[in-house]
Structure 1
């Protein structure tokens, strides 16, 4: 992996594959750069280069106590500067919230692809309180409890699904990412309702969602599209339950980038 340095001195790791116009992939909660590899590979097959990122507090990237959403904007800006040019950015879940916020703050982005961004349109205070509680759990060495609390209250997964995940082989890999749940909660709390600047970004915006996904994500995508005059909503049937289908998503990017 390559690395760059964010404005506050935090090391941010990223990986680039392929040739062609660049697309930066920004993952959501609990995701690291490697999780974006299938999508990155699909993008290279349709003529792009693809860049995946370990957001701060994840994988090979560094961290800094007191991180706020503006720090993650700086992280994305540092990666884009390292890559060069003005790439398209494909943000999934909270990564979509971050991508739109970054564009509104002047980060050089040629176009946005926002995959099921979880805008709550009004539940920011609840998420802010959750972020504070998650930080206390992490500080007390209770990373497992933080992961579960975020899944239940931040992502709003059904309790039986969360219990199944906790008993699965994947759970141990989630625990080291517990600190990042604080950052996702802070991001979606501060930006529960998109700012006027976010709603009026001048770059092309494509909002993607599946037909079969969580109702709150359907509502979020549809409401965001209704509030953004210049945005297009694209339904991707192949993407199911908040999992973007790599090949189908890459085709949408190819058609619109």
Structure 2
């Protein structure tokens, strides 16, 4: 049984914002960069699986956990500076990014090319400039302004396209999500809806700009789950073709949220260890 104890630390980012992170384990440093609607607490199971081989640092990105607010000048640059600040404070040389955290990881790697190895699980990169794919953002934003968080959440889940709910009538998707996400889980999700909007606006701004990842020279592994939709695998393949020497692999039985505690991080931990340890 793994008895690794994780403690909480923090470091200031370039603009003075506090960035908190959990840390524990033994070995070279590995940073975990969470996705949207997630905190460091959602990746503790993955971190424990990695902790016998790595000293793991799970970041609380801006707007969550022990980190400061996103701030009025929020953008992808700030996200990259936050990761770089944690790397500078810890000396970590490896990094894992999930979903939007994968996008942040790639953008950080182009600005601060100091990671030896990078593992990405379904990075939230918009490889195509498709305006129709972003129609949900206006509905989401309007729902938040009208203090309708459930409506906003339904718009996001359907718009993101990672579950079969994307093809269901909105009323049915809303009903299912009310049953699935409630209590403490809903309270935690609702608290991150505003940050989620800002993060996806950054993803939208960066759509179609993935070519500059050609400059990444680190060892890169792109992972996806075979239960995820086709556009996820297409994105990973485009990125694999763009980043020289990178590898792409699809893991059986996994879906978009598999790196998180409630899903199946064991297979992902195994691949991280295989490629980096």
Q: Would the TM-score normalized by the shorter structure come out above 0.5?
A: yes
Give the conservation status (yes or no) of the 8 Å contact 1:22–1:88.
yes
Answer yes or no: is 1:117 the counterpart of 2:123: yes
Q: Which runs of 4+ in 1 moved over 3 A?
A: 123-146, 154-157, 159-163
Structure 2 match to 1:252: 271
Greater CA drift, 183-192 or 25-34: 183-192
Q: 1:176-230: CA deviations, max 9, x gaps? A: 0012212321232122234332133111111011222222212211222233332
TM-score, with structure 1 as normaliser: 0.88
Identify which of 67, 75, 92 aligns with 2:74. Answer: 67
Give distance in 2, aligned partners of 1:128 and 1:211: 24
Answer yes or no: is 1:172 the counterpart of 2:193: no
Greater CA drift, 48-57 or 239-248: 239-248
Q: 1:17-69: CA deviations, max 9, x gaps? A: 10101111111111100101011011113x11111111111122111124111
Give the conservation status (yes or no) of the 8 Å contact 2:94–2:117.
yes
Answer yes or no: is 1:150 the counterpart of 2:163: no
CA RMSD of aligned residues (A): 2.4
TM-score, with structure 2 as normaliser: 0.82
Identify which of 17, 20, 41 aligns with 1:13. Answer: 20
Q: Cα–Cα, structure 1 residues 238 and 129, in superposed 2: closer, same or farther, change >3 Å?
A: closer
Structure 1 match to 2:43: 36
> Where does the alignment leave 5 or more consecutive residues of structure 1 unmatched?
none
Larger-Rg structure:
2
Q: CA deviation at 1:107?
A: 5.0
Give the conservation status (yes or no) of the 8 Å contact 2:213–2:242.
no
How many residue pairs get aligned? The number is 255
Identify which of 203, 215, 227 aligns with 2:218. Answer: 203
Give the conservation status (yes or no) of the 8 Å contact 1:5–1:12.
yes
